[in-house]
Amino acid sequence: MAPEPGGGPSSITPPTGLAPRRASPLAVGVVVWLASEVMFFGGLFAAYFTLRSVDADWPPPDVHLDVLRAVIFTVVLLTSSITMHACVTAAEHGDRRRSLRWLFASFVLGLAFLVNLGLEWAGNDFTLTDNAYGSIYYLLTGFHGLHLVGGLALMIATAVAVSGTKSHVPLGPTFTISAYYWHFVDAVWIFVFLTVFVVR
């Protein structure tokens, strides 16, 4: 590098358009918040396995869970992650209409899972207060259900924010934030499903 007059190095102007992309503060905030949610669910899983280790009858003999039904709706929920990914991909290409269609598909799949959870609860032959198993079962599935409700509400807010030809909300980052949350909810369900329906 040739020195400039005066002994200093010559300044090099970086090519335009190559400035480093900065992460959205909102996206960073969502990731940090999700990290705290990991610890929250970690506490619930720890409680489940602690109770399981001290109870010889786990689950109790009168508890009957529909495993096949849980498998079917687990596939439904995981499919919603695929449609959410398609939504983000369309948004990154600036296709507002397609991204909203995929978001709607994700919403319907998530809602179907949530409705099934309510029907499962209504058909269970045990309650929250019957025993320790009932308590931790309803806490695990209930808090996951609440997070699903939050994810569906976030989808609605996202759709409202980007709808309309006069909207100046950036598509890619807006849908990405919703996707972060939804993928987290789906990932948590995998562990809930394995814990409650497989390991037992």
Q: What are the tens digits of pLDDT across the range 167-191?
A: 677 788 889 999 999 999 999 999 9
pLDDT for 23 equals 63
Q: The pTM is what?
A: 0.83
CATH code (residue 57) = 1.20.120.80
Residue 134 confidence (pLDDT) above 80:
yes
Give residue 149's Cα distance to chain centre: 11
Q: Name the residue among 129, 115, 39 with its Cα closest to residue 77.
A: 115
Mean pLDDT is lowest, of 3-7, 69-73, 124-128, for: 3-7
CA-CA distance, 72 to 68, in Å (whole number)? Answer: 6
Per the structure, the count of domains in the chain is 1
Q: Is residue 19 a part of any domain in this protein?
A: no
Residue 19 confidence (pLDDT) above 70:
no
Q: Name the residue among 35, 37, 28, 14 with its Cα closest to residue 146.
A: 37
Q: Is residue 14 a part of any domain in this protein?
A: no
Q: Is residue 13 a part of any domain in this protein?
A: no
Q: Is residue 163 a part of any domain in this protein?
A: yes
Identify whether the C-beta of residue 107 lies closer than 8 Å to the C-beta of residue 185: no
The pLDDT confidence band at residue 11, using thresholds 50, 70 and 90, is very low
Q: Is residue 6 a part of any domain in this protein?
A: no
Q: Is residue 17 a part of any domain in this protein?
A: no
Question: How long, in residues, is the chain?
Answer: 200
Range(s) of the domain holding residue 180: 25-199
Residue 43 confidence (pLDDT) above 90:
yes
Q: Is residue 9 a part of any domain in this protein?
A: no
Q: Is residue 3 a part of any domain in this protein?
A: no
